[in-house]
Amino acid sequence: MILIPAIDIKNGKCVRLKKGNINNITIYHNNPVNVIKYWLKNKAKIIHIVDLDGAIKGIPINKNIIKNMIKERNKYCKKNNIKKIPIQLGGGIRNLEIIKYYFKYGISNVILGTSIIKNFNFIKSIKNFKNKIIISLDSYKNKIVTNGWKNISNNNLFNLANKISNLGFKKIIYTDIERDGILNGINIENTINLAKKTKIKIIASGGLYNLNDIKKLCKIKKYGIIGVICGRSIYNNILNFNISQKYINKYFKYVN
């Protein structure tokens, strides 16, 4: 399992929301490029970026900032003679042209949510990229939420996850938005149920609080939990990123 730091971009700044509420926002840094530098130096294995403006408006808004973040990743990895640290990116990616654009500039995995959920025919056009696409399933009371968490659909979380799995996608990010940004702990029960009822790998998200949450997730790794996204807990210095990742590394070395 991998601890994945999140960099959410709104109005050109690194921010976190509470329960996806765009009016309940905390600004953590004025320059996301400096934030990715920090996570690279702290040896993050994957970095999670969301264009929040893009998610809300339906088109990429922070492309130039993201390009500069990719350049910083490339420079760091070249200087240290290491493989490029994967970046997974979501927010406002609604067509094949944009997907190809981001892959061209060095994004490792594109995260799709609204574009898939609202238009399953879109899947036909991205079939060649299935291994590089992560599906984001954001739910409120087990109903899928779209358009930057503004709209609650009639899609059931578990039914849609099964459909995504049967279509051949390899990974999903599951976020319980009732917990996101409030430091109330990951929804372990739903995460396990989601993993059990599908053949797909799960990246947990929403509410990660402290090392106890990390320990709980480590114990359910056997169900196909491959990572967890961390945001407010690490920016508020409640969860120590390096200590947590070391625990994960030792735990899996021990159990294996």
Residues annotated as part of the active site:
8, 138
> For the purposes of burial, counting CB atoms within 10 Å of the CB of 128, is it exposed (0-12), middle (13-18) or buried (19 or more)?
exposed
Distances (CA, A) of 120 to 63, 66, 111, 126, 143: 25, 27, 15, 11, 17
Q: Which helix (H) or strand (E) holds 110?
A: strand 109-112
Rounded-to-integer distance, Cα 152 and Cα 94, Å: 18
Q: Are 99 and 135 in contact (CB under 8 A)?
A: no
Q: Are 227 and 204 in contact (CB under 8 A)?
A: yes
- And the tokens for 185? 């702990």
Give residue 164's identity as a one-letter amino acid code.
Answer: I
Rounded-to-integer distance, Cα 88 and Cα 156, Å: 25
Give residue 237's identity as a one-letter amino acid code.
Answer: N
Neighbours of 91 (CB within 10 A): 27
- And the tokens for 204? 């947990």
